[in-house]
Structure 1
Amino acid sequence: MDVKDLKVLIKMITETDITEFEMDNSDEKIVIRRGSKTEYVAMPSAPATFAMPQMTAAPVAAASSSQAGAVPQVSVELGETINSPIVGTFYRSPAPDAAPYVEVGQVVEKGQVLCIVEAMKLMNEIEAEFRCKIIKICKDNAQAVEYGDPLFAIEKL
């Protein structure tokens, strides 16, 4: 199944109240689940695979803002980061009028939702893989993110 067919399939499923779809043939297997948990599209025969957020020790440069009145940030080495597992749009809260999942300085527990990365109309909850403290939020709300982009600078606890 090519990407165009997959997009059509996902659109068709999201326009209905179907919560789970599975298709399996000799070449590929596709599973789409909807609901409060993270939604995945699995295609084992596809060459590209996405992994869960990986913790890396890498310097993170703070981007300077182009908004009027914004103060440019200086590059700082922040240590470990939680990176985006997919290309999509970063959201700090479950809804525009809701409180953010996490704030700078907050200690989060393993399994706690940190943010959402929307990809192809699917809301993927990004969870902490271990207990940690949020040092910096590296992306603005509703900002596009690439695979591997740092979302949060953290300190393991």
Structure 2
Amino acid sequence: MDIKDIKVLIKIVTESDITDFEMESGGEKLVIRRGQAPVMVAAPAPQVVAAPAPAAAPSVLPAAAAAPAVPEAAPTGKGSADERYETVVSPIVGTFYRSPSPDSDAYVEVGTVLEKGQIMCIVEAMKLMNEIEAEFKCRVVQILKENATAVEFGDPLFLVEPL
């Protein structure tokens, strides 16, 4: 299966109500799953699954407050040093971009308040730009990755405060 076929399948899945698609052909297996995160693609490699959206109680934090360090073993959005915060993780392996193009402003900065569904960043995977959206209303407390760096599945991208 070539990349053009995969792109067509991803487009069909994203434009429909399908949440899980699997196809096996000639020893290759393609799995596309989606939920509140962008579409995940896995070829003959291990399957990739999106992290579930955490639900949290709202709290108040001044915009100038210092952000705590995030432990490496917190890929699910829980377990930050301060329970008020949630960690937004990469749902796929790819390259992290803070803006839609090199000449554009970043989608978010520290202190930015996001509405549910607002774009936070892009993770490029196999020449596909996957927009990572806020899964709930929140304020960005810390940006954990540098622009144009490689990210793995579950890598922390942002520390946010649910509002």
Q: TM-score, normalised by structure 2?
A: 0.61
Which runs of 4 or more aligned residues in structure 1 lie more than 2 Å from their structure 2 counterparts after TM superposition?
19-31, 38-43, 52-59, 76-79
Asked whether the 8 Å contact 2:23–2:31 carries over to 1, the reply is no
Asked whether the 8 Å contact 2:119–2:131 carries over to 1, the reply is yes
Query: Which of structures 1 and 2 has the bigger CA Rg?
Result: 1
Aligned to 2:86: 80
**Identical residues among aligned pairs (%):** 52
Count of paired positions: 128
Aligned to 2:49: 50
Shift of the 120–153 alpha-carbon distance from structure 1 to 2, 3 Å rule, reads: same
Q: Which runs of 5+ in 1 are unaligned?
A: 32-37, 63-75
For 1:55 and 1:122, how far apart are their aligned partners in 2? 26
1:129 is paired with a residue whose SS is coil
For 1:80 and 1:24, how far apart are their aligned partners in 2? 31
Give the alignment partner of residue 152 of structure 2, picking from 143, 146, 157.
146
Bigger Cα displacement from structure 2, 77-86 vs 106-115: 77-86
CA-CA distance at 1:42 after TM superposition: 7.1
- 1:10-50 CA-to-partner distances (Å, cap 9, x unmatched) read 1x469xxxx9578986766677xxxxxx665477x986132
CA-CA distance at 1:54 after TM superposition: 4.4
For 1:154 and 1:52, how far apart are their aligned partners in 2? 16
For 1:83 and 1:141, how far apart are their aligned partners in 2? 15
For 2:23 and 2:150, how far apart are their aligned partners in 1? 34
Shift of the 80–56 alpha-carbon distance from structure 1 to 2, 3 Å rule, reads: farther
For 1:25 and 1:139, how far apart are their aligned partners in 2? 34
CA-CA distance at 1:87 after TM superposition: 0.8
For 1:56 and 1:138, how far apart are their aligned partners in 2? 21
Aligned to 2:124: 118
Asked whether the 8 Å contact 1:83–1:148 carries over to 2, the reply is yes
Aligned to 2:106: 100
Instruction: Give the CA RMSD over aligned residues.
Output: 4.0
Give the alignment partner of residue 60 of structure 1, picking from 58, 70, 81.
70
For 2:96 and 2:55, how far apart are their aligned partners in 1? 19
